[in-house]
């Protein structure tokens, strides 16, 4: 995840999560997202060289409110389907430091 602050309305933020294990052959890969107001969203990341990282680039509307976004990877690998460790991204209002 970027070291820069994320602000409401930002576009192009790179979100990378290290799954710490090879993902060759993984399917149904997604980021399950819980927004600050409790709404859920699903974002579709890509694997980076089928190694360990999942990457997603934020689009218009992703960072639509301030507060903590909880992002949890989900995928199927072989006979296993499940969740990875969640990551929290704090999103700030414009002009907030």
Which stretch, 16-20, 34-38, 51-55, 82-86, has highest mean pLDDT?
34-38
**Predicted pLDDT of residue 95:** 82
Domains of the chain and any CATH numbers: 6-92 (2.60.40.10)
pLDDT above 80: residue 2: no
Mean pLDDT of 40-49: 91
pLDDT above 60: residue 53: yes
For 13-34, the pLDDT digits (tens) are: 999 998 877 777 788 999 999 9
Q: Give the C-alpha distances (Å, rounded to integers) separating 87 from 41, 42, 78, 79, 95.
A: 15, 14, 24, 25, 24
Average pLDDT across the chain, whole number: 90
């Amino acid at each position: 995840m970027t070291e820069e602050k994320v602000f409401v309305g930002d576009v192009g933020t790179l979100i990378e999560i290290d799954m710490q294990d090879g993902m060759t052959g993984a399917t149904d890969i997604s980021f399950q997202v819980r927004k600050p107001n409790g709404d859920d969203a699903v974002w579709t990341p890509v694997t980076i060289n089928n190694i360990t990282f999942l990457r997603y680039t934020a689009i218009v509307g992703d960072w639509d409110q301030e507060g903590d976004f909880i992002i949890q990877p989900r995928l199927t690998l072989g006979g296993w389907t499940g969740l990875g460790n969640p990551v929290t991204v704090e999103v700030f209002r414009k002009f907030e430091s």
